[in-house]
Amino acid sequence: MKGATVFNRHSSRYIFRPPFIVRLEEFDEERLPTRFELSEAMEKNLPDLEIPEDLLNRLIEHARQEYPLESCGILAGKNGKTTKFYPMENTQKSSSCYLMAPEEQLRVFQEIEKEGLELSVIYHSHPHSPPFPSQRDVVSAFYPDSLILIISLMEDKISPIGAFQIEKGKIQPRVVKVIQNK
Ligand SMILES: [Zn+2]
């Protein structure tokens, strides 16, 4: 069975559901590979991320399909609750960075707006590194009103996941709540 680890500052528990195991665990700042400024004092505080289990599973599946390349995509929703997943093409075809096609991105942005939703999350995978923002991820975080969600595929059976608010070079880990589908 495949698994996913969700870094979470505030809770520690297991949710077992096929096809993935999602583990919520304490976020450990010392595990951050690079010295970024972790800050509680953001100008805006984005709501924590709520993601339905089936959406998270689709996102992990997409990441595994694209492996060893980085996958990327967009999650849309309202008030921190995500309801839609738009897998995107990584035009860089790279295992260390991603770039969404501008036309595809524009089309998705228009669709999100038409449905009265918001751009909640920019998602991408790290095939060979931990689920923490890279230097590139920090400088290219162009949507400060959206969270950055990263899934790591560096481990075989467990796929750690991290969600972050990035604002002007500052990083704040965010809570991920996995909502079980009824
Ligand atoms: Zn990255």
What radius of gyration, in Å, describes the C-alpha atoms of the chain?
15
- Tell me if 167 is assigned to some domain: yes
- Ligand 1 centroid to Cα of residue 152, in Å, is 9
CB 44 within 8 A of CB 146: no
Task: Based on the residue annotation, tell me whether 61 is a catalytic residue of this protein.
Answer: no
DSSP conformation class of 177: E
In a domain, 32, yes or no: no
Quick one: 83 exposed, middle or buried, by C-beta within 10 A (0-12, 13-18, 19+)?
A: middle
CATH value at residue 45: 3.40.140.10
Judge if pTM exceeds 0.85. Answer: no
In the chain, the amino acid numbered 5 is: T
Residue range(s) defining the domain that contains residue 17: 2-27+41-179
The count of domains in the chain is 1
The catalytic position among 70, 111, 113, 167 is 70
Angle, CA 20 vertex, CA 111 and CA 49 arms, to 5°? 45
Contact indicator for 88, 72 with CB cutoff of 8 Å: yes
**What value does the mean pLDDT take over residues 122-132?**
91
Residue 168 lies in a domain: yes
Answer yes or no: are the C-beta atoms of 138 and 37 closer than 8 Å.
no
In a domain, 34, yes or no: no
Residue 59 in 3-state DSSP? Answer: helix
Span from the CA of 68 to the centroid of ligand 1 (angstroms): 14
Tokens coding 174:
């965010």
Does a structural domain hold residue 139? Answer: yes
Maximum average pLDDT range among 21-25, 83-87, 166-170: 83-87
Is 79 inside a domain boundary? yes
| Phi, psi dihedral angles at 159 (to 5 degrees) | -115, 95
Output the six-digit token pair for 160. 């750690």
Residue pair 101/88 in contact by the 8 Å Cβ criterion: yes
Query: What's the gap in Å between 63 CA and the centre of ligand 1?
Result: 13
pLDDT of residue 27: 53
Residue 36 lies in a domain: no
Task: Please check whether residue 63 lies inside any domain of the structure.
Answer: yes
Placement of tokens 């604002």 in the chain: 167
- Return the higher-pLDDT residue of 80 and 126: 126
pLDDT tens-digit readout, 169-179: 888 888 888 88
For residues 2 and 22, the answer to whether their CB atoms sit within 8 Å is no
Share of the chain above pLDDT 90, in %: 38
Ligand 1 centroid to residue 110 C-alpha, Å? 25
